[in-house]
Amino acid sequence: MKHIVVLSGAGVSAESGLKTFRDADGLWEGHNVMDVATPEGFAKNPELVLTFYNERRKQLLEVKPNSAHFDLAALEQDYKVTIITQNVDDLHERAGSTNVIHLHGELLKARSIKNNDILPWNTDMKLGDLCAQGHQIRPHIVWFGEAVPMIDEAIEICKTADILIIVGTSMQVYPAAGLKDFVKSGTPIFYIDPKPADIHDKYVTTIKEKASTGMKTVIKALSSQ
Ligand code: OAD
């Protein structure tokens, strides 16, 4: 079975009603990214940061996967599929994908600020909510300036790709954006994005469409391979 590796970003969830980051002038749901997505922001105003992610979590529980998520999940019928997502939502899983790596963490998990304890979390998070060892918890999100613990595993997975699908990412944030450079030379790459970044690689087919229709185009191309 061929191995399809998918690198997804905020754009794959846009048609579910979740805003992307860079389509909003550096603001994320009205906030400066540096205030809500950095360790410094959390140290300065933890309530603001917790409230911000509480709102994102609530919103996530109200939206549903879209056809792009479902089409990616359906690829598992014919291929081995690994999804490496920059998204902190769980829409790939809810659509049925069984092999999803979250590079930037998950909204529905909490992490101790003192150790690596990670726990499921689907309600509001407040100051005073503690892990089993008695330490404050925080959202399980990789903030700017923090290490990306899953990156080494993601690199190894990319090396085994027979096909790479990149969908809904501006390819601006590293190390995630660098993952495409780890696929074997000659690996076909499909890049779906209505406003794609320039990717200079002769093996890239750029599909300038939304994720939903772009996935249909990719499926057609795969069936004729
Ligand atoms: P961006 O907001 O940077 O890029 C979203 C991309 O989705 C853009 O290239 C849009 O053109 C595209 N897009 C918009 N609507 C779309 C649609 N309907 N279908 C397909 N594509 C569409 O988001 P990411 O590249 O995911 O990190 O950003 C990477 C990281 O930066 C995020 O994981 C986040 C952010 O800071 C953390 O939260 C740690």
Q: Is 20 annotated as a binding residue?
A: yes
Atom of ligand 1 nearest to the CA of 33: 36
- The three-class DSSP label of residue 205 is strand
Distance 129 CA to ligand 1 centre (A): 31
Q: Are residues 58 and 69 in the same domain?
A: no
CA distance 93 to 172: 25
Pocket of ligand 1 (CB under 6 A): 9-11, 14-15, 20-23, 37, 86, 104, 141-142, 168-170, 172-173, 193-195, 210-211
What the block records as the tokens of 176 is: 């995630």
Atom of ligand 1 nearest to the CA of 194: 11
CB atoms within 10 A of CB 196: 18
CA distance 55 to 30: 12
Domain of residue 116: give its range.
23-62+106-141
Q: Which of 125, 141, 157 is the last residue of a domain?
A: 141
- The three-class DSSP label of residue 163 is strand
pLDDT in tens, the chain (225 residues): 999 999 999 999 999 999 888 776 656 778 888 999 999 999 999 999 999 999 999 999 999 999 999 999 999 999 999 999 999 999 999 999 999 999 999 999 999 999 888 999 999 999 999 999 999 999 999 999 999 999 999 999 999 999 999 999 999 999 999 999 999 999 999 999 999 999 877 799 999 999 999 999 999 999 987
Of residues 65, 74, 99, the one with CA closest to residue 85: 99
Q: Are residues 187 and 173 in the same domain?
A: yes
Strand pairing partners for 32? 27
Q: Are residues 112 and 190 in the same domain?
A: no
pTM: 0.96
Q: Which of 141, 161, 189 is the last residue of a domain?
A: 141
What the block records as the tokens of 158 is: 């990319």
Mean model confidence pLDDT for the chain: 94
